[in-house]
Structure 1
Amino acid sequence: MTRTIVDVSDEQILRALLEVEDISNRAVAARLGCPYRRVEEVRKRAGLPAYVRGRRAAYATLKEAFLAQVEPVQGGHMRWTGPREKTGTPVVRWRSLLDTAYRVAFRLHHQREPVGYLTRSCEIPGCVAGAHQRDLTMREALAAGGAS
């Protein structure tokens, strides 16, 4: 099998690299009929990240993973649509992390780690809204007459 190498401009290569998200140098080279090493050089000169083989994370951030698995409900509540443990507890899986949706929601909303176990401040079963989660510190402050 004879390969025909086509004269392709750097601009054409760059356009092909930017046209499809996360495309390999070999795929661009095959599509344009040029050497993959040339595509690699254009990618480097343009400052584009190197193509990484293998499986990609479904979500770029923990927040993105959480938000993709909830749906807002009237009254500021959040219904979990993602996976659950056998006990029914909603869980967030992101990269190597596995945590309850309640704890992730608390962290995202309050920008800190929860202290102790979490309880809901609302009466909606299973609500995973971060603003509706209370940790030990908040419960103690509420019992002492402070703000929630």
Structure 2
Amino acid sequence: MTSTGVSDEEILRALLAEDDVSDLAVVRQLGCGYQRVAAIRKQFGLPAYTRGRRASYGSLEEAFTAQTEPVEGGHMRWTGTREKSGTPVLRWRTLLQTAYRVAFLMQYGRDPVGKVFRTCGIPTCVAGLHQADRPMREAHKAGEPPC
């Protein structure tokens, strides 16, 4: 321990507690010196903190896949951001879209017409095959094959 009462092990634990934590965040959390945190980062071969925005996903599909997990029965659970109402939303570059619309686009290769509804009845399922747009619902209602 040093005069601040913080051990090197405590600093190292704070640096490893989260992905890409800044030296300044550790300084503020533990009340130790910035140079000491930087020295411990260097001593243990930890990569330097990168300021600013993190790298974005390479594609819309990559962003969607990274924020979902498969569930039994062919369903897909959304693990990403949600609106206050609970609706799953995907932010990618300048796009802000519901996860349902993105799932539909990825599944059918076209933008949905009108609102997208789940066909499986499982709340918040974002599996592409479980999404239907207005023309698909109208065709189903009329007894026609889906679009």
* From 127, 130, 133, the counterpart of 1:132: 130
TM-score (norm 2): 0.62
**Cross-structure match for 1:113:** 111
* From 82, 85, 94, the counterpart of 1:84: 82
Unaligned runs of 5+ in 1: 1-53
**Cross-structure match for 1:10:** none
Question: Equivalents in 1 of 2:116, 2:126: separation in Å?
Answer: 11
Question: Equivalents in 1 of 2:94, 2:104: separation in Å?
Answer: 19
Question: Equivalents in 2 of 1:89, 1:107: separation in Å?
Answer: 17
- Residue 147 of structure 1: how far off its partner (Å): 1.9
Map 1:50-65 onto structure 2 (within 5 A).
55=53, 57-65=55-63
- Residue 144 of structure 1: how far off its partner (Å): 1.3
Question: Equivalents in 1 of 2:133, 2:74: separation in Å?
Answer: 19
**Are residues 1:72 and 2:70 paired?**
yes
- Residue 56 of structure 1: how far off its partner (Å): 5.0
Question: Equivalents in 1 of 2:118, 2:89: separation in Å?
Answer: 16
CA displacement, residues 85-141 of structure 1 (integer Å, 9 cap, x when unaligned): 111110001011110000000000000010011111102111001110010010111
**Cross-structure match for 1:27:** none
Unaligned runs of 5+ in 2: 1-51
Asked which structure has the greater CA Rg, the reply is 1
Equivalent position amino acid for 2:59 in 1: T
SS, match of residue 140 in structure 1: helix
- Residue 143 of structure 1: how far off its partner (Å): 1.1
The share of aligned pairs that are identical, in percent, is: 65
Equivalent position amino acid for 1:124 in 2: I
Equivalent position amino acid for 2:144 in 1: G
CA displacement, residues 37-56 of structure 1 (integer Å, 9 cap, x when unaligned): xxxxxxxxxxxxxxxxx745
User: Aligned pairs, how many?
Assistant: 95
**Are residues 1:141 and 2:123 paired?**
no
**Aligned 8 A contact 1:57 1:95 in 2:** no
